[in-house]
């Protein structure tokens, strides 16, 4: 009798393990299920040598908490172990590709580089029960890995998520948690939007007022834009350089690069409040308390260029990313049109108009960044008035900017609002919590393809990838950010990773329920597939952030 029961239990755990094997997000290029499984136990070890050892330390960090096992790192493998192997023979899969094989009594992950091993490890975590993602063991658990053979590699090198801590400041703890969730989805670029009209969030030692003044506002727009209503609560915060170094290092250990964004010449009001001489003489300035496009922008004096390059000098010391984002979006030209001095600068520099002045501005940054061994990224407005030679374009107002830039031989990241702006509603606006507008349901988000059909294969090589945007005007709390991000960011991870011909929304929908249990285990909020938790996310402003 007890034998029979044992058999049933074994069969059930096999079936559950098989279901789990089929629920990896983003979907691997190939996954072959085989008979059998590997049981990870308190005797299991991590086996690694050479440069795989560094990933073995990371693997310990990701396997010890949930299992409560010790996971010693050893060099000779035995059955029941997790084996990490650098195998140069796998270079055809690229540095981020990997193989995972659990058919021979142990789990073997091999890759030609450390990043690949890390992504194999993320797939292993998704082959295990969701409790592997908890921060401590919750009791005895069957850590069975189904027998599978996976061979996998990403479609794109830029698989991003964007955070906007300017409109509502986010504590460092949240950013670190978000990085953990990104890593689980094999996302590798965190676009960190650090300055905007409503707040300057990065400490700059040379210009302390940027955060003393620019990081704080007296009140904030509440409710829908049309209501023109404000709360009366001061809001603010910023990251010290040490906080940012910690974030960068934490991300790096998870193979994520943090790409900082310093906005110019628009979205500058917080900086103007701190240093009014950077403006067009239209002060006094106050840190922004309303959303939308704001007319006050930087002037284009040489001294302002110098100021911003001094800021960037400190930015480069903190962020090793080859890409530095300088914004460039939504810079109204009203002030430059009205300013005699701006008109004089246009003439002096032999420019035609205000668009060319903006282009001149961005060119200065492009040249300077190139001299410092970095590459400029900007929103698609940087195309207006002439694109700077080294610029990479983020195409947000649809795909046209990205297409034009790729055809002109520039790299692009496809971030069109209709598909990748996760501040849009993800269901019926009547029942969903307040959002900026628009509507991008999960199916629509999943359906996006970052390579527009009008590009030739050669031009398409300029599409580095895509990313999900989390503009945060209407997200007062971190729970709110998560609700808007998930599961759409899960969909985006699959757009960025999985080959186009293997994307299948029906199949994705089948894998999602198991995947959402992983988000539960990590205490990540998300929109339930039936929308039934929508009204619980219409949380009052400022609560629980």
In the bound complex, what is the minimum distance in angstroms from residue 304's beta carbon to ligand TNX? 21
The Cα 286–Cα 284 span in angstroms is 7
Per the residue annotation, which of 267, 363, 462, 515 is the catalytic one?
A: 267
Phi-psi region of 475 (alpha: psi -120 to 50; beta: other; left: phi over 0): beta
List C-alpha distances in Å: 272 to 214, 219, 280, 355, 375: 8, 18, 9, 21, 26
Residues of this chain, 366-395, that bind ligand TNX according to CB under 6 A:
379
In degrees and rounded to multiples of 5, residue 200 shows phi and psi of -105, 120
Q: Indicate which single residue of 142, 246, 314, 329 sits in contact with ligand TNX (rule: CB under 6 A).
A: 329
Closer to ligand TNX by CB, 471 or 508: give it.
Answer: 471
Is residue 372 annotated as part of the catalytic site, yes or no?
Answer: no
Q: Indicate which single residue of 149, 330, 504, 520 sits in contact with ligand TNX (rule: CB under 6 A).
A: 330
Query: Which residue in this structure is represented by tokens 């969909």?
Result: 491
Q: Indicate which single residue of 421, 425, 446, 508 sits in contact with ligand TNX (rule: CB under 6 A).
A: 421
- Whether the Cβ atoms of residue 365 and residue 308 lie closer than 8 Å to each other: yes
Alpha helices in 110-257 (DSSP H): 114-127, 172-184, 209-212, 241-252
In the bound complex, what is the minimum distance in angstroms from residue 166's beta carbon to ligand TNX? 9
Give 456-514 as a DSSP string. -HHHHTTEEEEEEB---TT--SHHHHHHHHTTHHHHHHHHHHS-GGG--HHHHHHHHHH
> Residue 236's beta-bridge partner residues?
216
Closer to ligand TNX by CB, 330 or 444: give it.
Answer: 330
Closer to ligand TNX by CB, 436 or 524: give it.
Answer: 436
Q: Indicate which single residue of 148, 305, 436, 490 sits in contact with ligand TNX (rule: CB under 6 A).
A: 436
Closer to ligand TNX by CB, 267 or 511: give it.
Answer: 267
Q: Indicate which single residue of 108, 203, 423, 459 sits in contact with ligand TNX (rule: CB under 6 A).
A: 423
List C-alpha distances in Å: 410 to 417, 451, 458: 20, 14, 12
Is residue 203 annotated as part of the catalytic site, yes or no?
Answer: no
Per the residue annotation, which of 81, 96, 114, 196 is the catalytic one?
A: 196
In the bound complex, what is the minimum distance in angstroms from residue 507's beta carbon to ligand TNX? 30
Alpha helices in 258-324 (DSSP H): 269-274, 302-318
Closer to ligand TNX by CB, 77 or 288: give it.
Answer: 288
In the bound complex, what is the minimum distance in angstroms from residue 475's beta carbon to ligand TNX? 11
Closer to ligand TNX by CB, 52 or 393: give it.
Answer: 393
Q: Indicate which single residue of 471, 475, 486, 526 sits in contact with ligand TNX (rule: CB under 6 A).
A: 471
- Interface with ligand TNX: number of residues (CB under 6 A): 9
Quote helix, strand, coil % in the chain, to nearest 5.
Answer: 40, 20, 40
Is residue 196 annotated as part of the catalytic site, yes or no?
Answer: yes
Active site residues: 196, 267, 330
- For ligand TNX, the binding residues (CB under 6 A) are 329-330, 379, 396, 421, 423, 436, 471, 473
């Amino acid at each position: 009798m007890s034998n029979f029961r044992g058999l049933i239990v074994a069969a059930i755990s096999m079936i559950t393990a098989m279901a789990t094997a089929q629920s990896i997000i983003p979907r691997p290029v190939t996954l072959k299920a085989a008979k059998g499984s590997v049981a990870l136990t308190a005797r299991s070890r991590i086996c690694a040598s050479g440069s795989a050892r560094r990933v073995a330390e990371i693997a310990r960090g990701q396997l010890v908490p949930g299992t409560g096992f010790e996971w010693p790192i050893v060099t000779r493998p035995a059955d029941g172990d997790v084996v990490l192997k650098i195998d140069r023979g796998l270079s055809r899969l690229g540095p981020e590709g990997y193989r995972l094989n659990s058919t021979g009594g142990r789990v073997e992950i091999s890759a030609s580089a450390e990043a690949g091993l890390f992504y194999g490890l993320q797939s292993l975590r998704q082959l295990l029960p969701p409790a592997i993602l908890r921060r401590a063991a919750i009791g005895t658990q069957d850590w069975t890995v189904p027998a599978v053979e996976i061979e996998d590699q990403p479609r794109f090198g830029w698989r991003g998520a964007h955070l906007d801590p300017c409109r509502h400041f986010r504590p460092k703890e949240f950013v670190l948690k978000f990085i953990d969730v990104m890593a689980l989805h094999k996302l590798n670029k965190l676009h960190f939007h650090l300055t905007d009209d409503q707040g300057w969030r990065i400490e700059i030692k040379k210009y302390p007022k940027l955060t003393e003044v620019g990081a704080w506002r007296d009140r904030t727009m509440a409710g829908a834009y049309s209501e023109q209503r404000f709360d009366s609560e001061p809001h603010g915060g910023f990251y010290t350089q040490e906080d940012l170094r910690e974030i960068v290092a934490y991300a790096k250990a998870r193979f994520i690069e943090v790409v900082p964004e310093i906005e110019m010449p628009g979205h500058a009001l917080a900086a103007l409040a701190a240093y009014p001489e950077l403006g067009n003489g239209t002060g006094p300035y106050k840190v922004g308390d309303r959303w939308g496009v704001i007319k006050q922008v930087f002037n284009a004096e040489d001294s302002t260029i110098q100021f911003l390059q001094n800021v960037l000098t400190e930015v480069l010391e903190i962020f090793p990313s080859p890409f530095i984002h300088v914004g460039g979006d939504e810079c109204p030209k009203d002030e430059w049109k009205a300013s005699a001095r701006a008109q004089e600068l246009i003439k002096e520099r032999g420019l035609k108009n205000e668009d060319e002045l903006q282009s001149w501005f961005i060119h200065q940054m492009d040249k300077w960044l190139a001299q410092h061994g970095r590459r400029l990224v900007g929103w698609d407005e940087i195309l207006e008035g002439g694109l700077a030679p080294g610029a990479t374009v983020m195409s947000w107002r649809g795909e046209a900017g990205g297409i034009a830039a790729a055809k002109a031989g520039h790299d692009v990241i496809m971030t069109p609002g209709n598909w990748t702006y996760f501040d849009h509603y993800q269901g019926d606006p009547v029942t969903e919590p307040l959002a900026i507008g628009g509507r991008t349901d999960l199916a629509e988000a999943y359906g996006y393809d970052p390579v527009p059909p009008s590009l030739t294969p050669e031009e398409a090589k300029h599409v580095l990838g895509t990313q999900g945007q989390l503009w945060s005007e209407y997200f007062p709390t971190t729970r709110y950010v998560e609700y808007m991000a998930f599961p759409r960011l899960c969909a985006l991870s699959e757009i960025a990773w999985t080959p186009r011909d293997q994307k299948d929304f029906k199949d994705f929908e089948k894998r999602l329920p198991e995947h959402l249990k992983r988000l539960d285990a990590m205490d990540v909020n998300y929109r339930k597939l039936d929308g039934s938790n929508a009204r619980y996310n219409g949380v009052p402003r400022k609560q629980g952030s």
